[in-house]
């Protein structure tokens, strides 16, 4: 080999130390905080949640700081909490789902109407509602994954379709709570209450908590969860690395449809009645996106934890109840929530800086 090509020999005298990663030492407090938040993105909403409970607890005293009030918050957020879990899954794949609330209402209407119009046993009607929710989710997923339409457009359309189908099918007819109680009590099963030392829980609250923890486990500790993050992070890279992008997206959208069906069932338990004009159909999507964003899940996908979405939903619930107990104008709630959304995204941008 000619000498000129032997340039590598010059490196032989170099230090043999190989590239190594610096420890967290010497980064200072801000650097360490940055790193901790980068690793645990749900920490910010948890801190905000605890701070909000503390402040309202100090101001309002035992009226707010009681097992009854605390569990009342859980009951009030159960529908949004379940929808936020669904929304979080979609947003982790870098999508967005505007149809979750409408789909939940449609599923609750199907559960009610199948029982009362066709005389189907309530348990089977609930199963039908869950199946139709899953099917609508599958259509969303197929359009996003195979036809490659933007999730925003697909679910914007699906939101209108589902909401209209809901009014057309139900003929805008509400099924009264007393009728359900007498003839099909199973539909209200998730509204079953039980008390533990002044704290009142419903089965819907239990379902929400089990769902959140189950999804948190699946996302953290199974291959499927890793694939959801990888697809949301960089779909091309995930595909080249051996992830079946289509299957992952389909599984997420179908699971989300199923969870919307569960949310529909939770709605019947919470309200007692089945109403096609429940506000969830119109604002459920925005409520769930709000919880997810406050929960620190990045709208660009691939970052965040589902616990964050749960904390986000609870933060909204704490603000609503706390401000109402304090006698404040309800508009203050929205003003504060709006501020929180912008603050949450600002923190997200800061965390995403990769110098952690």
Partner 1 sequence: MQPILKGTGLVKRYGKVTALDNCDFELMPGEILAVIGDNGAGKSTLIKAVSGAVVPDAGTVELEGKPVHFQSPIDARAAGIETVYQTLAMSPALSIADNMFMGREIRQQGLMGQLFRRLDKAEMQRIAREKLNDLGLMTIQNINQAVETLSGGQRQGVAVARAAAFGSKVIILDEPTAALGVKESRKVLELILDVRSRGIPIILISHNMPHVFELADRIHVHRLGKRLCVIDPKDYTMADAVAFMTGAKEPTAAEAA
Is residue 56 within a helix (H) or strand (E), and if so which, with residue range? helix 43-60
Report the residue number, 153 or 241, with the smaller CB distance to partner 1. Answer: 241
The CB-of-234 to partner 1 minimum distance in angstroms stands at 6
Binding mask 226-265 for partner 1 (x = CB under 8 A): xx-xx--xx-xxxxxxxxx---------------------
Report the residue number, 117 or 247, with the smaller CB distance to partner 1. Answer: 247
The CB-of-305 to partner 1 minimum distance in angstroms stands at 12
The CB-of-28 to partner 1 minimum distance in angstroms stands at 17
Binding mask 210-229 for partner 1 (x = CB under 8 A): -------x---xxxx-xx-x
Q: Convert 79-104 to b/e letters by CB count within 10 Å (16 or more is b).
A: bbbbbbbbbbbbbbbbbbbbbbbbbb
Cα-based angle 49, 53, 55 (whole degrees, multiple of 5): 115
DSSP state of 13: G
Report the residue number, 14 or 147, with the smaller CB distance to partner 1. Answer: 14
Does residue 183 touch partner 1 according to CB under 8 A?
no
Binding mask 86-125 for partner 1 (x = CB under 8 A): ----------------------------------------
Report the residue number, 248 or 290, with the smaller CB distance to partner 1. Answer: 248
The CB-of-7 to partner 1 minimum distance in angstroms stands at 8
Report the residue number, 235 or 317, with the smaller CB distance to partner 1. Answer: 235
Residues touching partner 1, count (CB under 8 A)? 36
Contacts of 56 (CB under 8 A, 6+ apart): 64, 65, 318, 322, 325, 326
Binding mask 37-56 for partner 1 (x = CB under 8 A): -x------------------
Contact criterion met (CB below 8 Å) for 79 and 285: no
**Comparing C-alpha atoms, which of 121, 56, 51, 107 is closest to residue 79?**
107
Torsions phi, psi for 321 (to 5 deg): -70, -45
Report the residue number, 10 or 147, with the smaller CB distance to partner 1. Answer: 10
Torsions phi, psi for 329 (to 5 deg): -60, 130
Torsions phi, psi for 200 (to 5 deg): -110, 120
The CB-of-221 to partner 1 minimum distance in angstroms stands at 5
Contact criterion met (CB below 8 Å) for 53 and 318: yes
Report the residue number, 145 or 170, with the smaller CB distance to partner 1. Answer: 145
Give the C-alpha distances (Å, rounded to integers) separating 36 from 20, 41, 46, 79: 20, 8, 13, 31
> What is the greatest pairwise CA distance in the chain?
95
Among 5, 13, 182, 331, binds partner 1 (CB under 8 A): 5
Segment 281 to 310, residues that bind partner 1, using CB under 8 A: 302-303
The CB-of-220 to partner 1 minimum distance in angstroms stands at 9
Using the contact rule CB under 8 A, the part of the chain among 7-15, 56-64, 79-87, 323-331 near partner 1 is 7-15
Positive or negative CA dihedral for 60, 61, 65, 67? negative
Report the residue number, 109 or 228, with the smaller CB distance to partner 1. Answer: 228
Torsions phi, psi for 353 (to 5 deg): -60, 125
Report the residue number, 65 or 300, with the smaller CB distance to partner 1. Answer: 300
Does residue 20 touch partner 1 according to CB under 8 A?
yes
Can you tell me the distance from the alpha carbon of 310 to that of 203, in angstroms, rounded to the nearest whole number?
17
Structure tokens at 33: 């905080």
Can you tell me the distance from the alpha carbon of 273 to that of 114, in angstroms, rounded to the nearest whole number?
14
Q: Which positions touch partner 1 (CB under 8 A)?
A: 5, 7-8, 11, 14, 18-21, 23, 38, 217, 221-224, 226-227, 229-230, 233-234, 236-244, 302-303, 354-356
């Amino acid at each position: 080999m000619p000498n000129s090509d032997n340039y590598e020999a010059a490196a032989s005298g170099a230090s043999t130390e190989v590239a190594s990663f610096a420890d967290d030492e010497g980064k200072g407090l801000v650097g360490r905080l940055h790193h901790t938040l980068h690793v645990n993105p749900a920490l910010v909403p948890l801190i905000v949640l605890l701070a909000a409970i503390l402040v309202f607890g100090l101001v309002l005293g035992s009226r707010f700081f009681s097992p009854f009030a605390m569990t009342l918050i859980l009951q009030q957020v159960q529908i949004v909490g379940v929808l936020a879990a669904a929304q979080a899954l979609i947003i982790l794949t870098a999508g967005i789902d505007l149809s979750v609330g409408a789909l939940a209402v449609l599923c609750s209407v199907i559960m009610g109407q199948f029982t009362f119009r066709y005389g189907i046993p309530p348990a089977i009607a609930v199963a039908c509602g869950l199946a139709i929710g899953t099917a609508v989710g599958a259509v969303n997923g197929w359009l996003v994954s195979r036809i490659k339409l933007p999730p925003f457009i697909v679910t914007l359309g699906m939101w209108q379709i589902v909401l209209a189908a809901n009014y057309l099918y139900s003929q805008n007819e509400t099924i009264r709570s007393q009728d359900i109680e007498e003839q099909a009590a199973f539909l209200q099963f998730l509204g079953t209450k039980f008390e533990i030392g002044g704290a009142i829980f419903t089965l819907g609250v239990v379902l929400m908590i089990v769902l959140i923890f189950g999804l948190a486990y699946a996302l953290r500790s199974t291959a499927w969860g890793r694939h959801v993050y990888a697809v949301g992070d960089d779909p091309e890279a995930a595909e080249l690395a051996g992830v079946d992008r289509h299957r992952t997206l389909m599984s997420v959208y179908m699971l989300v449809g199923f969870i919307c069906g569960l949310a529909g069932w939770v709605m019947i338990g919470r309200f007692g009645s089945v109403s096609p004009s429940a506000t969830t159909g119109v604002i459920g999507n925005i409520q769930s996106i709000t919880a997810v964003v406050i929960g620190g899940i990045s709208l660009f996908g691939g970052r965040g934890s589902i616990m964050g979405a749960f904390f986000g939903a609870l933060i909204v619930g704490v603000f609503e109840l706390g401000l109402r107990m304090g006698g404040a104008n309800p508009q203050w709630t929205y003003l504060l929530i709006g501020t929180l959304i912008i603050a949450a995204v600002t923190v997200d941008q800061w965390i995403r800086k990769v110098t952690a």
